């Protein structure tokens, strides 16, 4: 070109061109054409635009704004991991839907119509619903052995109808708090069968809001794993 060699050349991601350039013009800076990169992004990951994700924003920053290599690498990595996690979540979500539909067909018909299960089916995500449904089923096999009033508290001794360990469930009549000696709620965030038995006994037919952990609900999103 006017007797001069170019210093920079931009191509599409063509491997043959890249190989040829390194032989013919080894000292040249070979870059990739941003138009083609962007077009490939739209083709493969364009769905992110529709879903309001910040993925296109991060991609744009990598392409046009960031000039430092380290900063670029950091953002690029974040972008990659986020996309990877999302792909895993989508897959998991599809599996959960399948599991949920399968469980809905199981013959627990009588139980499903109870107010608590209806409430929980509306609130919890499918897997947690299934876990809860099992606990609820077990709660119907529980028996109150003793019941004792201590001020605003009622202390229940609960046991399975066919034996097993006794649990102490303390119910607060003022704020409807319940505390079971098994500590399942504190550990897993789902009420245990003993506490559910006590709720049923005192006439509580839906789960008090404070016992619905946000991370187990349908509204929880990726990254939203901590409760208020
Ligand atoms: Zn318990």
Cα of 124 to ligand 1 centre, how many Å? 20
Q: What is the DSSP letter of 53?
A: -
Cα of 172 to ligand 1 centre, how many Å? 15
What pLDDT, on a 0 to 100 scale, did the predictor assign at position 102? 60
Cα of 211 to ligand 1 centre, how many Å? 13
Cα gap 174→127, rounded to integer Å: 32
Q: How far apart are the first and last CA of the chain?
A: 66
Cα of 168 to ligand 1 centre, how many Å? 8
What pLDDT, on a 0 to 100 scale, did the predictor assign at position 226? 46
Cα gap 9→31, rounded to integer Å: 6
Cα of 170 to ligand 1 centre, how many Å? 10
Cα of 188 to ligand 1 centre, how many Å? 11
Cα of 20 to ligand 1 centre, how many Å? 71
What pLDDT, on a 0 to 100 scale, did the predictor assign at position 223? 47
Of 223, 217, 155, 168, the closest CA to residue 190 belongs to 217
Cα of 82 to ligand 1 centre, how many Å? 37
What pLDDT, on a 0 to 100 scale, did the predictor assign at position 143? 96
What pLDDT, on a 0 to 100 scale, did the predictor assign at position 189? 85
Cα of 199 to ligand 1 centre, how many Å? 12
Cα of 166 to ligand 1 centre, how many Å? 10
Cα of 180 to ligand 1 centre, how many Å? 4
Cα of 8 to ligand 1 centre, how many Å? 70
Cβ pair 180, 156 in contact under 8 A: no
Cα of 185 to ligand 1 centre, how many Å? 7
Cα of 91 to ligand 1 centre, how many Å? 33
Please count the other Cβ atoms lying within 10 Å of the Cβ belonging to residue 139.
20
Cα gap 197→175, rounded to integer Å: 18
What pLDDT, on a 0 to 100 scale, did the predictor assign at position 181? 96
Cα gap 111→130, rounded to integer Å: 12
DSSP assignment of 156-225? EEEEETTEEEEEEEEEETTT--EEETT-HHHHHSS--HHHHHHHHHTT--S--GGGS-GGGBTT--TT--
Cα of 187 to ligand 1 centre, how many Å? 10
Residues of the chain whose pLDDT is less than 70? Answer: 1, 84, 95, 98-99, 102-112, 221-228
């Amino acid at each position: 070109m006017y007797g001069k060699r170019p210093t920079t050349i931009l191509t599409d991601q063509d491997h043959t061109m890249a190989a040829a350039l390194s032989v013919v013009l080894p000292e040249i800076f070979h870059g990739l054409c941003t138009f083609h990169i962007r077009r490939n992004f739209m083709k493969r990951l364009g769905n992110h635009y529709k879903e309001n994700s910040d993925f296109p924003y991060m991609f744009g920053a990598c392409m046009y704004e960031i000039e430092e290599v380290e900063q670029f690498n950091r953002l690029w990595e974040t972008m990659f991991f986020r996309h990877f996690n999302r792909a895993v979540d989508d897959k998991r979500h599809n599996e959960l839907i399948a599991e949920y539909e399968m469980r809905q067909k199981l013959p627990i018909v009588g139980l499903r119509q109870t107010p608590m299960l209806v409430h929980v089916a509306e609130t919890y995500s499918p897997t947690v619903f299934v876990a809860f449904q099992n606990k609820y089923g077990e709660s119907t096999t529980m028996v109150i052995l003793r019941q004792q009033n201590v001020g605003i508290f009622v202390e229940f001794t609960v046991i399975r109808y066919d034996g097993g360990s006794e649990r102490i469930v303390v119910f607060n009549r003022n704020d409807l708090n319940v505390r079971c000696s098994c500590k399942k709620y504190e550990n897993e965030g789902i009420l245990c069968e003993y506490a559910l038995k006590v709720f049923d006994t005192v006439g509580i037919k839906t789960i008090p809001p404070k016992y619905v952990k946000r991370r187990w609900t349908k509204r929880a999103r990726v990254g939203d794993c901590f409760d208020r």
